[in-house]
Amino acid sequence: MYYAWSDYYDRLQHEFYPLGYHEYVEKYAEEFGLDPYLIYSFIKTESNFEPEAISNAGAIGLTQITEETFSWIKLMLCPKEDIVFEDLYKPEVSIRFGAYYISRCLERYSGNVDTAAAAYHSGWGTVDKLLAEQGTEVLIEFPYTQMNNYVYKINKAYTSYQEIYLNQEGV
């Protein structure tokens, strides 16, 4: 009986924390030097793996990128490619752009996942202002409720992905 419950629990965890779009996540994790589980955590938190997701702020796709952020990423990543904002509904484009942006946030904020997640959610300007106010290189406090909740969700998902899938890899 224990094994049946354990198997059921494992299946539930895999359903709640899926490895959707594996080929794209792996590809862009390698290209941008990221842990694939971190990318999955952003996708889980941003869109719950729904490629047609649209936020109240107008962010779209799996990684929920706004048009302004899309334009900046396109300029930095692929200025000559014929890609438009609506292409973010395509999983590969969204994961590519999201992974690039995650990598830039991590680079800008010394690899600190909490600060990078806050920046992904609220923008570099907001985070830079908070860092100046706190007099630190990484955020110690997240004074805005939405930002605090977002950072918590990213960390919870990231920890869960690691616990679920890294334990399996070692078996």
| Predicted TM-score of the model (pTM) | 0.93
From CA 78, how far away is CA 58, in angstroms rounded?
22
Average pLDDT over residues 73-83: 98
At 64, is the pLDDT very low, low, confident or very high (cuts 50, 70, 90)?
very high
- Domains of the chain, earliest start first: 19-169 (1.10.530.10)
From CA 171, how far away is CA 166, in angstroms rounded?
9
SS3 140: coil
Task: Give the total residue count for the chain.
Answer: 171
Residue with tokens 């997640």: 117
From CA 87, how far away is CA 113, in angstroms rounded?
27
Q: In this predicted structure, which of 42-46, 139-143, 153-157 has the lowest mean pLDDT?
A: 139-143
Q: What confidence score (pLDDT) does residue 169 get?
A: 56
Rg (CA), the chain: 17
- Token output for 155: 């960390």
Long-range pairs of 75-81 with CB within 8 A, sequence gap ≥ 24 = 76/100, 76/104
Alpha helices of the chain — where are they, by DSSP H? Answer: 2-16, 22-32, 36-47, 67-77, 91-108, 113-122, 124-134, 145-161, 167-169
